[in-house]
Amino acid sequence: MDRTNISIGKKDPLDYMKERYEWTSEEIVRERLQSHLIPIRELANGGYEGLSDELKAEKLKNDFDAFIHRRAELVMRAARLLVEGHQLSAAEIFRE
């Protein structure tokens, strides 16, 4: 398990997701991620190749912070819609 986590941790999140879902279409992966309130744009930042360890750590922290912030916004929007009595859909939650 540790070895698997280490190898996964070295990959850009979007590359990892693409490998995991090679058996289906990008549209289906996008729908599934959105149904779990995963902000795809923030997940797909990437660009870690060739960075020094220090710059990579800084970029990872910034990217993760942006991902968590956006996901929190989506969760709050979903909760607000539920409280207001709306039927939830990923399209409505992700609508800006």
Structure tokens at 8: 């996964």
Residue keyed to tokens 């941790």: 9
Q: Helices H, strands E: what count in the chain? A: 6, 0
What is the distance between the alpha carbons of residues 65 and 42, in angstroms, rounded to a whole number?
9
Band the pLDDT of 80: cuts 50, 70, 90.
very high
Structure tokens at 18: 């693409």
Domain spans of the chain, in order of start: 2-94
- The tens digit of pLDDT for each residue in 46-60 reads 788 889 999 999 998
What is the distance between the alpha carbons of residues 13 and 41, in angstroms, rounded to a whole number?
11
- Among 79, 91, 96, 82, CA closest to 31: 91
What is the reported pLDDT for 33?
Answer: 86
HSE-up of residue 9 (Cα within 13 Å, Cβ side): 8
